[in-house]
Amino acid sequence: MSSHRKSYRLAKKLPVAKRYIAEKENLEESLRFQSDEIIGLKQAVERLEARNEEWAEEVRQLRKAPSSLSIVWPVAQQDIIKAKPVKSKTKVKTKPPFTLNWVIPPMGQSSGGHTDIFRIIGYLENQGHKCNVYIYDPLNSITLETVKDYLKNYPKFRGKIYHNSGTIEPADAIFATSWHTAYPVALSKIPNKYYFVQDFEPYFDPIGTYSTLADNTYKFGLRGITLGQWLSKKLSTEYKMECDYIDFGVDLTEYSLINKKPRKKVLFYARPVTPRRGFELGVLALEIFSKQHPEYEIHLLGWDITPYKIPFKYVNHGILPANKLNDLYNECAAGLVLSFTNMSLLPLELMASGCQPVINEAVHTKMSSYAEKVVYTPTNPQAIADALYKAASLNDANNMVKLSKQAQKFTWPAACSTFEKILTKDLSN
């Protein structure tokens, strides 16, 4: 041991030296702390300087931005101005097979409405008819290359597909498939004009320009074929549209009963991006349900709910591919599906899997052909929670089989066959 270290140890035993050494060590620790603080402050200043430069760049970009906003027109303005009721409802008769043009809005990677359209197109093609698809996209929100990539997720079809082609080839009939596409169809020179209506689209937007433009399309005089009875009755009664309807369908190759054992899970079709599916009301009802019946595990399906603060434990499935939906449905005793316009396709899929649907009670929901097997509920949170528990309590093999058999009466081939019969009667008789 060095003489210096020995002297230091001896000095520490003296009272005066001990105080001096303690003060020295405290000062050294304080200096180290202040040094760390100085380094931290320097780093903070550097971050602020960098952020200040970002702000300056944002200001420069804002100064370059246009001084006014543009109105968004999902329909070409000239189409809105020119479109008017079809003058004559006289159909040009022909014989099958038919050439049919379909005007559709842009699609995403998945879309229930587009899936229905391509189901029908595929069926008609298998019956010998020729179908061509025209994407009407005034906002240029998608490219043809992207469309062709997305089509891998939809039922197959063999016809040609066009994007903003500007012209539409001659055909025996032309179909609008949304309010946006009804405008170019009304202006088309093809005499037999149809409107495949899957929902009452004026309800999709607050009362105003867009809802009015949607409402106007039911006055164009197009021949309506609707999905479900409610739309057919509403459009024929309120707008004097000539309408027939096809029933909702379920794909029995994808949805079936594979589990008859008791289930302790419930499902909610949770789509905050689709207001007509009542996301907020459903969450409030499930909060009550979770407190009163904690023995059930809650599963949310239809959208990624991660950004939302949900006041109960749940499993977030987001958007699942069809090949995984049947497994989930077969694990659930009951499924809550809120529909404030036309019915969702989900209830039939749930039924095919032995899961008891719970649906809000309304004129449009009670007009479904499979209504007798549905548990209906008033639209207040406690009533919904009670109805969900009632439905989950029907969790036995006998009820599962009854639900599945009821769903088997409503298939997409049957619905598509009805569609073709309506068309054939119109165009060839």
pLDDT, tens only, 83-136: 988 765 667 788 899 999 999 999 988 888 999 999 999 999 999 999 999 999
pLDDT attached to residue 110: 82
Strand bridging mode 334-337 / 315-316: unpaired
Strands (E), 310-390: 315-316, 334-337, 356-360, 375-377
Partnered with residue 131 across adjacent β-strands are 100
Q: Are residues 238 and 275 in the same domain?
A: no
Q: Are residues 242 and 93 in the same domain?
A: yes
Asked, for residue 423, whether it belongs to a domain, the answer is no
DSSP secondary structure code for residue 188 in this structure: -
Q: Residues in the chain, how many?
A: 429
Strands (E), 291-340: 297-301, 315-316, 334-337
Residue 225: closest CA among 298, 176, 160: 176
Residue 276 vs residue 322, higher pLDDT: 276
Helix, strand or coil, per DSSP, at residue 189: coil
pLDDT attached to residue 239: 97
Could you give the CA distance from residue 190 to residue 405 in angstroms, rounded to a whole number?
Answer: 42
Question: Taking all residues of the chain, what is their mean pLDDT, rounded to a whole number?
Answer: 90
pLDDT attached to residue 168: 93
pLDDT attached to residue 55: 66
Asked, for residue 170, whether it belongs to a domain, the answer is yes
Q: Are residues 238 and 307 in the same domain?
A: no
CB 353 within 8 A of CB 331: no
pLDDT attached to residue 293: 98
For the record, the structure tokens of 197 come out as 């209506």
Residue 403: closest CA among 259, 267, 277: 259
- Mean pLDDT, residues 207-220: 97
CB 372 within 8 A of CB 426: no
- Mean pLDDT, residues 358-369: 94
Q: Are residues 345 and 379 in the same domain?
A: yes
Residue 3 has pLDDT above 60, yes or no: no
Q: Are residues 100 and 186 in the same domain?
A: yes
Asked, for residue 339, whether it belongs to a domain, the answer is yes
- Mean pLDDT, residues 404-426: 96
350 burial class (0-12, 13-18, 19+ CB within 10 angstroms)? buried
pLDDT attached to residue 69: 84
* From 6-15, 160-169, 372-381, the region with the lowest mean pLDDT: 6-15
Structural domain total, the chain? 3
Asked, for residue 419, whether it belongs to a domain, the answer is no
Q: Are residues 223 and 93 in the same domain?
A: yes
What backbone phi and psi angles, to 5 degrees, belong to 202? -60, -20
The domain spanning residue 206 has which CATH number? Answer: 3.40.50.11090
Which long-range contacts link 208-212 to residues 24+ away (Cβ below 8 Å)? Answer: 210/74
Q: Are residues 378 and 311 in the same domain?
A: yes
96 burial class (0-12, 13-18, 19+ CB within 10 angstroms)? middle
Q: Are residues 49 and 109 in the same domain?
A: no
Helix, strand or coil, per DSSP, at residue 161: strand
The domain spanning residue 339 has which CATH number? Answer: 3.40.50.2000
Asked, for residue 251, whether it belongs to a domain, the answer is no
pLDDT attached to residue 132: 97
Q: Are residues 215 and 122 in the same domain?
A: yes
Asked, for residue 322, whether it belongs to a domain, the answer is yes
**Domain residue limits at 233:** 88-246
Asked, for residue 353, whether it belongs to a domain, the answer is yes
pLDDT attached to residue 166: 85
Q: Are residues 105 and 132 in the same domain?
A: yes
Helix, strand or coil, per DSSP, at residue 392: helix
For the record, the structure tokens of 353 come out as 């899997």
Q: Are residues 181 and 273 in the same domain?
A: no
DSSP states of 121-157:
HHHHHHTT-EEEEEE--TT--S-HHHHHHHGGGS---
pLDDT attached to residue 101: 98
- Mean pLDDT, residues 387-402: 97
pLDDT attached to residue 177: 98
pLDDT attached to residue 93: 81
Could you give the CA distance from residue 12 to residue 367 in angstroms, rounded to a whole number?
Answer: 94
pLDDT above 90 as % of the chain: 76
Residue 49 confidence class, pLDDT cut points 50, 70, 90: low
Residue 1 has pLDDT above 60, yes or no: no
For the record, the structure tokens of 317 come out as 């499935």
Could you give the CA distance from residue 356 to residue 394 in angstroms, rounded to a whole number?
Answer: 8
Could you give the CA distance from residue 241 to residue 236 in angstroms, rounded to a whole number?
Answer: 5
CB 270 within 8 A of CB 282: yes
End of a domain among 64, 99, 114? 64
Give the Å distances, CA to CA, from 389 to 237, 285, 291, 334, 385. Answer: 37, 11, 12, 8, 6
pLDDT attached to residue 37: 63
pLDDT above 70 as % of the chain: 83
Q: Are residues 241 and 97 in the same domain?
A: yes
Residue 11 has pLDDT above 60, yes or no: no
Residue 5 has pLDDT above 60, yes or no: no
Could you give the CA distance from residue 123 to residue 415 in angstroms, rounded to a whole number?
Answer: 10
Residue 67 has pLDDT above 70, yes or no: no
Could you give the CA distance from residue 125 to residue 117 in angstroms, rounded to a whole number?
Answer: 12
Asked, for residue 292, whether it belongs to a domain, the answer is yes
Residue 78 has pLDDT above 80, yes or no: yes
Instruction: Of 30-39, 69-78, 346-355, give the range with the top mean pLDDT.
Output: 346-355
Cross-sheet strand order for the sheet of 223-227 = 161-163, 130-135, 99-104, 173-176, 193-197, 223-227, 243-246
